[in-house]
Each structure stands twice: as C-alpha cells, then as structure tokens.
Amino acid sequence: MAYELYYWPTIQGRGEFVRLALEEAGADYIDVARESEGVAVMMRMMKHAERPPLAPPFLKDGETVIGQTAAILLYLGARHGLAPKDPAGGLWTHQIQLTIADLVAEAHDTHHPVGVGLYYEDQTAEALRRAEEFRGDRIPKFLAWFDTILARNPDGDAHLVGRALTYADLSLFQLVEGLSYAFPKATARALKQAPRVAALHDAVARRPRIEAYLASPRRIPFNEEGIFRRYPELDR
C-alpha cells in the first residue's frame, strides 16, 4: 500500500523534507494534495481524523496518521534504513532533525517576524531587522554546529550520524538548498566556514534517486509562497 503524503501542492515547505526521504527510499507514495480535489481531501482529513494534525505535512500509512515533519521522518527512517538501528543513534538523528526544524522556523520568521497572518509588505521594517541578525549570527552558528557534528562523527565526516546516509543528511541538504535560495550571499559566506556541510550537500545532490528527483516535475521550484523566500533586500 502506498504512503499518502498530505502537504500544500504548490510549495516545497516542510513537506519537502518528507518527499526527499520517500524519494531516497524508493518508496511508493501519493502526494495527495497534488491530485485532483486533493486539497479538499487533505482538509477533510484534518477536520475529521480521530487524532487530527494541526497542519500539514502529515503522512498516512494504512490506518496510521503521523503529523509533524520530524515525527514523520522518525517513522520513515526506522522503516527504510534511513536512521541507525541502535536507540542512541536513532535519538541523536532525531535531535539533529529537530535542530534543523529550529533553523527552518527562524528562516520563515525573517519574512514574517510580526505575524503569519500579515503580508510581508506589512512588516518589512521588522523583517529587515530580523534578517540582519539571521544573516550575521544565526546562519553561521547553525552551519558551524552541523560542521562540528560532521567533524566529530567517529565514522567519518561524510555523514552526520554513522557511516551511512540518514534522513538528517537529506534534511541538511534541503536546508542548505533553501537558505541558498533565500539568502544566497549570506549562505555562501557561511558555507565557506563550514566546508563539510557544503561537501555533504553536494554529495546528496549526486545520489542517483535524489538527482533524478531534482530533475523531475515532482520537485516544486522554490517560490515566494513557501518557507524560504527570496527578498533581495533581506540578503546583503
């Protein structure tokens, strides 16, 4: 039975972290909201499920429904060899994923620092202030932490955890992709100080299934409706 992924059909957003794991695993899945009437189906699921998710993404596997990106990846990682089998390694991978989620939220808040219900144009002055700290402090701090993890991995610096690819590696790739779209200047500067992160990003992009996915119409282009948005005035 195919997995059913529920996420907005026109943006990468948080759903893209799940798509990358499904693609790398070669898993059979349906991107439900991109099907005919799919958004309506997704909204009914959120309204009527016994344990309703607050928001997409969520994944349906038979009768099991999992919300929250990190929880979905924890579930998929254990089933598709994208996480260590030992409990300590699995927990460490999950911790890294949650940290990635922290930076994703901060990236979103650069263009919506006051409220998600307001337009960017309603909070541009605040966004300029928020983005200045994000560029100068937060991107370098997080990328340096990921670089340190790679350097300290006892099994080598090719992966964040162990000697094999995990969903955390895929998510770090997507994080760098998003930051490079939204903040190309600031991210390029930070990556010069985090060479292992840059190398991991490039290695993931060359993986056969990921490379094929990135070149396919299944990969939605970045745009100014998602989490990572390019406003040139925010990137200096």
pLDDT, one tens digit per residue, over 114-151 is 999 999 999 999 999 999 999 999 999 999 999 999 99
Centre a 10 Å sphere on the Cβ of residue 188 and count the other Cβ atoms it contains: 12
pLDDT band at 86 (very low <50, low <70, confident <90, very high): very high
pLDDT score of 208: 98
% of residues, the chain, pLDDT over 70: 100
Q: Where are the beta strands (DSSP E) in the chain?
A: 3-6, 29-31, 58-61, 64-67
| CA end-to-end distance (rounded Å), the chain | 48
The Cα-based distances of 211 to 106, 119, 221 in angstroms read: 28, 35, 15
Alpha-carbon distances of 100 from 27, 43, 93, rounded to whole Å = 23, 27, 11
**pLDDT over 90 (residue 81):** yes
Contact 12, 226 (CB under 8 A): yes
Mean pLDDT score, 44-70 = 95
Task: Describe the crossing of helices 167-182 and 195-205 by its angle, rounded to 10 degrees.
Answer: 100
Cα–Cα distance, 184 to 62 (Å, whole number) = 41
**pLDDT recorded at residue 16:** 98
Q: pLDDT class for 46, splitting at 50, 70, 90?
A: very high
Give the mean pLDDT of 1-22. 97
Residue 1 has what pLDDT? 87
Please determine, for residue 88, whether its predicted confidence score (pLDDT) is greater than 90: yes
206-217 confidence digits (pLDDT tens): 999 999 999 999
Q: Letter for the amino acid at 60?
A: K
Global pTM reads 0.97
Alpha carbon separation from 213 to 140, 159, 205, 228 (Å, rounded): 29, 21, 10, 19
- How high is the pLDDT of residue 110? 97
Tokens of 46: 């959120």
Using one digit for the tens of pLDDT, what is the confidence trace for 13-30?
Answer: 999 999 999 999 999 999
Residue 186 CA to its chain's centroid (Å)? 19
Determine the Cα–Cα distance for residues 92 and 192; give it in Å rounded to an integer.
Answer: 26
Query: Contact at 8 Å (CB) between 162 and 153?
Result: yes
**CA dist., res. 156 & res. 145, Å (int):** 16
pLDDT of residue 222: 97
SS (H, E, C) 164-183: CCCHHHHHHHHHHHHHHHHC
Residue 53's pLDDT band (boundaries 50, 70, 90)? very high
